Amino acid sequence: MGPILRSGIIALLLGLAACAPQYAVVENTQQQIGPLGVNPTQQWNEVPKTHSIGRKPTWTVNGVTLDSLTFFVDVKDGEALLSSQGKEDKSYPTYASDMLPHELVEMVEKTFAVELSANISESGELAPVTFGGQPGFEFEFRYITPDELKRRAYVIGAIKNETLNVVVFQAAALHYFDKILPSARSMLRGASVE
């Protein structure tokens, strides 16, 4: 192999490496995401903001196309979970501090439907739960993205001092959701909220 070809291949590989998102390993110690504190019970990787939904703090086990855990923290009255700045064709529902759990569920589902052009195929169980010491809610829903992959999502959240904190774990339905959910749910049910 000539030096020019070799250096060309090295340049190509470096170029490809530069294109790949840089994931950072999440340490298995208490992690603070805004007011939310969690203790990871399995290996998570932090997704670069350029590859996360709405640039929100996001973790993944196998890569965002297969699974992701997205933290929507410190959401104030009148705000949406995602910013529609620069996305005039998308209209996200907004949060109101007097929303009931059913309305918060609807807000999360609708945000995903609009952002991902997804069909919400089924809303699952909705139940009360304690989240960060507050009376909160948890629920599941199933949705289909335009790549026709069936996905499931688990959502947990609560309102504290009129501020909403909600976390969404989503994964491909066939294998990854059931595999990761127990650990994700256990970590989130044990979360603290400042």
Partner 1 sequence: MRVLVSALLITCAIQAHGFEQLPSLVKPGFAPSTHELEGGLWMVMANAEEDLQRSPLLIDRPDLNRYLMDIVCRLVESYCGDIRVYVIRTPHFNATMAPNGMMQIWTGLLIRVRNEAQLAAIIGHEIGHYLRRHSLQRYEDLKMKATFSTVIALGLGGAVAAGGVSPDIANLASSVGNFALLASIFSYSRSHESEADKFGIQLLDTAGYDVDQASLVWGQILKEEDSATQKKSSGSLFFSSHPSPSKRLETLASYANDLTEHEQLHEQGATDFAQAINPLLFTVLEDQLNTGDFGRSRFVLEQLQSGEHDQSIVSFFLGELYRSRNEEGDRDRAAAYFRQAISSDSPTPQAYRALGMIELKNKNLDAAKARFREYLSLQPEAKDRKMIEFYLEY
Q: How far apart are CA 68 and CA 91, in angstroms?
A: 23
Residue with tokens 């195929």: 121
How near is the Cβ of 111 to partner 1 at its closest, in Å?
Answer: 9
Opening angle at CA 91, ends 134 and 58, nearest 5: 50
Q: How far apart are CA 40 and CA 20, in angstroms?
A: 25
- Residue 2 C-beta-side C-alpha neighbours within 13 Å: 3
C-alpha gyration radius of the chain = 19
92 binds partner 1 (CB under 8 A): yes
The footprint of partner 1 on residues 107-126 (CB under 8 A) is 109-110, 113-114, 117, 119-121, 123-126
Stretch that binds partner 1, among 28-36, 84-92, 154-162, 186-194 (CB under 8 A): 84-92
86 binds partner 1 (CB under 8 A): no
The dihedral sign for the CA sequence 73, 74, 78, 84:
negative
Q: Contacting partner 1 (CB under 8 A), which of 74, 103, 162, 178?
A: 103
How near is the Cβ of 8 to partner 1 at its closest, in Å?
Answer: 22
77 binds partner 1 (CB under 8 A): no
102 binds partner 1 (CB under 8 A): yes
- Contact residues: partner 1, CB under 8 A: 88-93, 96, 98, 100-103, 106, 109-110, 113-114, 117, 119-121, 123-128, 137, 139, 144, 146-148, 150
